[in-house]
């Protein structure tokens, strides 16, 4: 009988597959229709085609993936280490966890028949600008997002993402180039999005902020299609990770035992 840690690991793999499906949908929409979307928009698109059962499965996967990423940030499950690079990777894992928990919430809302506004970036920026020191907060967020974009490009060049795969798959050229193209495309998207956010902060106008959909739409043809092909590669690589990524179990059972003892 599987314990809680094993069940979470299986659901996390579903989460990787869900992430892959979202990025493949984003790439498909750009390449075939010219429509720019972000993961939230792709979630709506897949939900319309697959119905509530598919959304429920995706929500479970996204929830598990989000928990797994947050656990990695807190407990260093992926063994990043305590140096500056390791701390940065754990912070990135935490941010990724929060994003995927937000996507889980959106999937649940879609199951309930409530569509999101599609303006989460703009709304979040508006909230930040209303806080004391709001401009500085938004500008700092833009700089962090720029750093994340650069980090993605570095990963694309160095191929460090391959260390998480089973060695036999990591050596395959097709897997390497799917990952490189995907991380490079994501890096470019994050850098463009950081520009939007920086402009929103400096001009104190939340309408200037934009996420992945706005970044893709901002790119001129054929650059947008090239980036979409890269995102397709990331989607395929995510599916590969769903099956062949080496996952370290989250110590769910021991944590529960400590709480209940």
Which residue has tokens 């698109």? Answer: 45
pLDDT score, position 252? 62
**Overall average pLDDT of the 234-240 stretch:** 97
Condensed to tens digits (0 to 9), the pLDDT of residues 148-164 reads: 999 999 999 999 999 99
* Residue among 139, 149, 137, 239 nearest 186 (CA): 149
pLDDT at 2 over 70: no
pLDDT score, position 16? 94
Condensed to tens digits (0 to 9), the pLDDT of residues 201-227 reads: 888 888 888 889 999 999 998 999 999
**Dihedral of alpha carbons 122, 126, 131, 136, sign:** positive
Q: Report DSSP state, residue 248.
A: P
Reported confidence tier of residue 20, pLDDT bands at 50, 70, 90: very high
* Residue among 148, 134, 54, 136 nearest 96 (CA): 148
Condensed to tens digits (0 to 9), the pLDDT of residues 31-79 reads: 999 899 999 889 988 888 778 888 999 999 999 999 999 988 888 888 8
pTM of the predicted structure, to 2 decimals: 0.89
What is the number of residues in the chain? 261
User: CA 112 to CA 120: how far, in whole Å?
Assistant: 19
């Amino acid at each position: 009988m599987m314990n809680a840690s094993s069940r979470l690991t299986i659901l996390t793999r579903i989460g990787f597959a869900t992430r892959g499906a979202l990025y493949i949908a984003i790439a498909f929409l750009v390449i075939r229709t010219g429509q720019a979307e972000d993961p939230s928009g792709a979630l709506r698109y897949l939900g319309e085609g697959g119905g509530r059962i598919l959304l429920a499965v995706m929500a479970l996967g996204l929830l598990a993936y989000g928990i797994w990423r947050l656990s990695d940030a807190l407990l260093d499950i992926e063994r990043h280490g305590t140096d500056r690079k390791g701390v940065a990777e754990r912070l990135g894992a935490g941010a990724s966890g929060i994003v995927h928990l937000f996507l889980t919430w959106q999937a649940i809302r879609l199951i309930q028949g409530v569509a999101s506004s599609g303006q989460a970036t703009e709304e979040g920026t508006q909230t930040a600008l209303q806080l004391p020191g709001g401009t500085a907060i938004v500008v700092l967020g833009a700089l962090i997002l720029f750093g994340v974009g650069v980090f993605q490009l570095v990963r694309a060049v160095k191929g460090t993402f391959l260390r998480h795969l089973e060695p036999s798959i990591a050596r395959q050229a097709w897997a390497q180039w799917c990952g490189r193209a995907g991380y490079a495309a994501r890096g470019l998207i994050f850098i463009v999005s950081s520009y939007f956010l920086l402009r929103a902060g400096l001009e104190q106008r939340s309408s200037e902020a934009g996420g992945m959909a706005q970044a893709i739409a901002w790119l001129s043809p054929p650059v947008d299609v090239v980036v979409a092909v890269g995102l397709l590669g990331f989607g395929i690589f995510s599916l590969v990770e769903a099956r062949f990524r080496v996952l370290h179990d989250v110590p769910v059972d021991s944590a529960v035992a400590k709480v209940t003892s």
